[in-house]
Structure 1
Amino acid sequence: MQERSALTVKVPEVTFGFWLIKIAATTLGETGGDAVSMSMKLGYLVSTIIFAIVFIAAVTAQMKARKFHPALYWLTIVATTTVGTTMADFADRSLGIGYAGGSAILLALLLISLGVWYRVTGSVSVKTVSSPRAEIFYWVTIMFSQTLGTALGDWTADTAGLGYTGAALIFGGLLALTAIAYFATRISRTFLFWSAFILTRPLGAVLGDFLDKPIAQGGLDLSRYGASLALVTFMLVCMLMFRQRPASAMH
């Protein structure tokens, strides 16, 4: 019975490899989103619609799957981060909400999502994502966190004037502190997981911008297509090196 329950959890076990792939996926979301909206010149709205369709298709496939499939899971994560990138850029730049306003709204939506999820199911741990209802909450929460991360990363790097490297050091430092708290304290593992999960997105956002923005703006001016391909390759290598197993179900 325990083995069957474990198979119903279609999200991966949280390991070092998980975090490596997650950071790469969020960075890919930035370079990939910019490649479609800027390099292809489709604009933020059209790009958001395209990525939203991909996201809906990926989530539908993920929810219909009978067991954990690493490639499908990470495809869905990349879909959330690309649509999050273009959605945040559309709201911040096209609608004129601004990074601060967009970040505040998305943070509120994220907290509401986690609050409703906890109230309905009694837990927001990834180990409880073993039912369609929990999966819906899981992916909605991830969508909000990915979109928030884009706005927060751009706000820190651009509006706050810290630049891409300065912002990367800040978010990287916060992730390091979260890791220290995991090993040195008894703070809720679920709280630390979502804290780290959220922080990886702005880190990925500023790393992605650092790779593809012009040198005059503090970036490396690399091809968005080339950077995206390199990140996909890195993710595939990590998936081969670090075995992806489903998280153990919580009873």
Structure 2
Amino acid sequence: MQPRKSEFARIVSKVPEVTVYFWVIKVLATTVGETAADLLNFNLGLGLGGTTAVMFVALAVALVLQYRAPRYVPWRYWLVVVLVSIAGTLVTDNLTDGFGVPLETTTAVFAVLLAIVFVWWYRSEGTLSIHSITTRRRETFYWAAILVTFALGTAAGDLLAERLSLGYLLSAALFATVIAFIGLFYGLRVLGGVLAFWAAYVLTRPLGASLGDWVTQPSDSGGLDFGTVGPSAVCLAAVVALVCYLTASGRDRLPA
């Protein structure tokens, strides 16, 4: 008789290979997170509380589907990322708009919380590499870290663009520049792969959020005033198209 598998038994990798497709979809998903949260909140009249409740229920369902998958399945994985992006935006919006917590405070708190998740993850598993997401516990640490990065990125992006008055486009350019330097330092082997990945992952969130706000916000607030419906639809359609391509091509599969 074979021994019963525990919750932490080894499973096939549940995350994609980090390719250019990964980063393109990630930025698009973060942009959708920013624009869709505003779309549901304001345009559809759900309000901040209603939007938050709907999105967290949807996220819970998506996570169940993701956990039940025996291996990486593109549409399940990226569905969770899109919903986490929206949920992370709403967490920050609830704290700042609903409870009046300053962006400086939320940025600092989420930065500390992310550090705690990483320390706990490393102490438990001995690695933070996404190439090691092969147990249920590691997958849980992975999604916890990603949720916090989205909340942190939203707070940091709004802090620079609005509170420090840099504007959305300049903030996006600043984040993109820092990400480019991270890529350069990784290429020069100044930064290790794990540190470079997570640093870039955190920064792509405020990059996408700043781009989303720049496209959707009114011109008197420094935006292009395209509204939330069109940009949300375009970005979501691009995500769906890329996920369909990756499903068919297998270009983002990690080796077993």
TM surpasses 0.5: yes
What is the CA distance between 1:45 and its match in structure 2? 2.2
Could you give the per-residue CA deviations for residues 102-141 of structure 1, whole angstroms, max 9, x where no partner exists? 1111111111001100000111110111111001000011
What is the CA distance between 1:241 and its match in structure 2? 5.0
What corresponds to 2:253 in structure 1?
246
What corresponds to 1:98 in structure 2?
102
> CA contact under 8 A between 1:92 and 1:98: conserved in structure 2?
yes
What corresponds to 1:9 in structure 2?
13
What corresponds to 2:168 in structure 1?
164
Aligned residues between the structures: 245
- RMSD of equivalent CA atoms: 1.6
What is the CA distance between 1:244 and its match in structure 2? 4.1
Q: 1:126 aligns with which of 127, 130, 141?
A: 130
> CA contact under 8 A between 1:48 and 1:86: conserved in structure 2?
yes
> CA contact under 8 A between 1:117 and 1:134: conserved in structure 2?
yes
- Pick 1 or 2: higher relative contact order, CA cutoff 8 A, min separation 6: 1
Identity %: 33
> CA contact under 8 A between 2:92 and 2:155: conserved in structure 1?
yes
Instruction: Determine helix, strand or coil for the equivalent of 2:209.
Output: helix
What corresponds to 1:154 in structure 2?
158
TM value normalised by structure 1: 0.93
What is the CA distance between 1:60 and its match in structure 2? 1.3
Counterpart-to-counterpart distance in 1, 2:244 and 2:50: 34
Could you give the per-residue CA deviations for residues 64-88 of structure 1, whole angstroms, max 9, x where no partner exists? 1011111111100001000111111
Q: Structure 2 unaligned segments of length 5 or more: list them.
A: 1-8
Letter of the aligned partner of 1:170 in structure 2? Answer: L
Q: Which moved more, 1:195-204 or 1:54-63?
A: 54-63
Q: 2:33 aligns with which of 9, 29, 33?
A: 29
Q: Structure 1 unaligned segments of length 5 or more: list them.
A: none
Does 2:22 match 1:18? yes
